[in-house]
Amino acid sequence: MDKIPFRWSWSRHRTLEGCPRRYWYQYYGSRNGWRAKEGHPAREIYRLKRLQGGRQWVGLRVHELAEDILKATMGGGLFPAATVRDRWELESRAELEAGVARGDLDNPKDVRGFEAVEYGLADEGFQDALWEDLLGQADALQAHPLFVRVLERPELVKEVETFGRVWMGDVPVTVSLDCLIHDPDKGWFVIDWKTGTRHAEDVVDAQLVLYTSYVRRRYRARLGDITAVSAMTRDGSHRQTQVEWADIGRMKKLVAASAERMVGMLDGSGKDRVDKDDAPMLPEGSETCGECRFRVLCGR
């Protein structure tokens, strides 16, 4: 495959798999929308792009808490570790209130709204329920046996929420590891925090294959020395996965086919541009439309 003008990612792949039109809105129609003038289509698309589900917001905030605590414990954070939780709660409360108030209408870059509020699906207890869930998830994270063990040996942490790139065949892939541990006696551990109530194991495992491939290439680690771990914060459990060469081979084929489809949608200019008409909507009545943040643009 010739050089492609974008970086492939698992989220980009999943978006295209779900709906080509949503893919266009997410990666093309929303471009520069944060600085577009009022009334410009890109501004509205960008605002809708930044809408988030309630559980998504909770997950993002808990990941930020994990990142802040780990970096503070490692000595590279902005604030002392003892003050991280309190500051995080203040920021989370302000972000939640702004999102519910739909402040993003005036400043779409700085404030993210909620899908349930946007589409009139949030009841009176929406905000309080989210806040309660968030605090419960934060407590669960900090009590998770694996998180506690990581904090006990901060010198073993190599990466925390750092964006990286790994080549899968001819395709550059963007990855971001929640946490990477290197214990000279036990090997490498890729930790992926999971805050949801359910996760499809095949999806989780696919992500872990990409993360493992990154660690192998970035640190020249032996595949057998790398263990991928999904840590479920809600119940304190975790699941270990040992990635095999066959898994990497299958992932390379998936990435190649997915990237080829993305390249096939480009407008032929040699740049990363796609015409909206080349990204069709799903058939009328598709169930996934009801879960799409852009559905108002499609009249769904």
Residues 194-230: pLDDT tens digits? Answer: 987 655 566 778 999 999 999 999 999 999 999 999 9
**In the chain, pLDDT over 90 holds for what percent of residues?**
79
pLDDT score of 101 = 87
Higher pLDDT, 5 or 77: 5
Q: What is the reported pTM?
A: 0.90
Q: Are residues 103 and 168 in the same domain?
A: no
pLDDT above 80 (res 273): yes
Q: Are residues 174 and 141 in the same domain?
A: no
Q: Establish if 213 belongs to a structural domain.
A: yes
Q: Are residues 37 and 112 in the same domain?
A: yes
Cα-based distances in Å from 144 to 66, 183, 213: 11, 19, 26
pLDDT band at 167 (very low <50, low <70, confident <90, very high): very high
pLDDT score of 19 = 97
Query: What are the residues whose beta carbons fall under 8 Å from the beta carbon of 81, sequence distance 6 or more?
Result: 69, 72, 73
In what helix (H) or strand (E) does residue 190 lie, and over which residues does it extend?
Answer: strand 187-194
Q: Are residues 14 and 127 in the same domain?
A: yes
pLDDT above 60 (res 116): yes
Structural domain range at position 193: 155-250
pLDDT score of 82 = 78
Q: Are residues 116 and 202 in the same domain?
A: no
Higher pLDDT, 66 or 81: 66
Rounded distance between C-alpha atoms, residue 1 and residue 171, angstroms = 8
**For residues 35-54, average pLDDT:** 92
What integer best gives the mean pLDDT of the chain? 92
pLDDT score of 111 = 72
Beta bridge partners of 229: 191, 240
pLDDT score of 4 = 83
197 with 112: CB under 8 angstroms?
Answer: no
pLDDT score of 29 = 97
Q: Are residues 175 and 66 in the same domain?
A: no
Nearest to 84 by CA among 71, 98, 96: 71
**For residues 83-98, average pLDDT:** 94
Q: Are residues 140 and 191 in the same domain?
A: no
